[in-house]
Amino acid sequence: MSIKENLQIIREKSYNAAVKAGRNADDIKLMAVSKFHPAESILEAVENSQFLFGENRVQEAMTKFPDIVSTHSEVNLHIIGTLQTNKVKNAITIASCIQSVDSLHLAQEIEKQCSKINKNIDVLFEIHTAEDSKSGFSDLNELYNVLSLIAENKFEHIVPKGLMTMAPFINDEKQIRKSFIKVRKLSEKLKIDFPMFDFSELSMGMSGDFEVAIEEGSTLIRVGTAIFGERQY
């Protein structure tokens, strides 16, 4: 199936999941995860009104996105993969949001690089909810520490927007749902503990589990394979 058809199918399924959950379908953004797919595929998605993209690796994103953005200014890229500190400098030049902030160390580097070029960047805090994954804050004290520093204006260039998680890669819907519920509940708590910040974004759900994620409050689904096909690693 073509990227155009896949996009139509995902939009329809996402709409139906929202309606089923009693939610407004406009509150759910679709991100196309284009890692390991060529610029031509990204452009095909753009032709079909897909403008929000996600990439895992900064280096790969640097080979594709500057060109695309120069001719398609509506295109917007988020970094969604584990970010090494030596990649932060480039990441903040091409991405409007880093979805995978998962340590104090990374937040410090983002602040350092952003202050050099005087750029503010949106961030999501990645929460560890799956045993088979390593990424995300597992120590919530560290997350609270980062948020306190932002609240004290120590990280002036970092703009919190919400949370992100990857559910476990298993077929057990109950476990997957549990991971999304955990993140939604945490965001409700953070809204109370840090009322000065925006925690409205919940980036949850991928090709295999975006409908469950929508039922559990996702506002941004990150879909790769179901749009672009299998990745050729």
Ligand X SMILES: *Cc1c(COP(=O)(O)O)cnc(C)c1O
Contact 98, 90 (CB under 8 A): no
The piece of 14-22, 38-46, 171-179, 217-225 that touches ligand X (CB under 6 A) is: 217-225
Rounded distance, CA 13 to CA 228, Å?
16
CA atoms within 13 Å, Cβ hemisphere of 111: 17
Residues between 34 and 63 with contacts to ligand X, criterion CB under 6 A: 35, 56
| Residue range at the interface with ligand X (CB under 6 A); choices 63-71, 109-117, 189-197, 200-208 | 200-208
- Nearer Cβ to ligand X, position 33 or 157? 33
CB of 228 to ligand X, least distance (A): 8
Member of 85, 149, 225, 229 binding ligand X (CB under 6 A): 225
Contacts (CB under 6 A) with ligand X, residues 124-183: 166
Contact call for residues 171 and 132 (beta carbons, < 8 A)? no
Minimum distance from CB of 196 to ligand X (Å)?
Answer: 27
Do residues 163 and 125 touch, judged by C-beta distance below 8 A? yes
Contact 42, 69 (CB under 8 A): no
Binder of ligand X out of 42, 80, 124, 190 (CB under 6 A): 80
CA 231 to chain centroid: 19
**By the criterion CB under 6 A, which residues form the site for ligand X?**
33, 35, 56, 80-81, 166, 206-208, 222-226
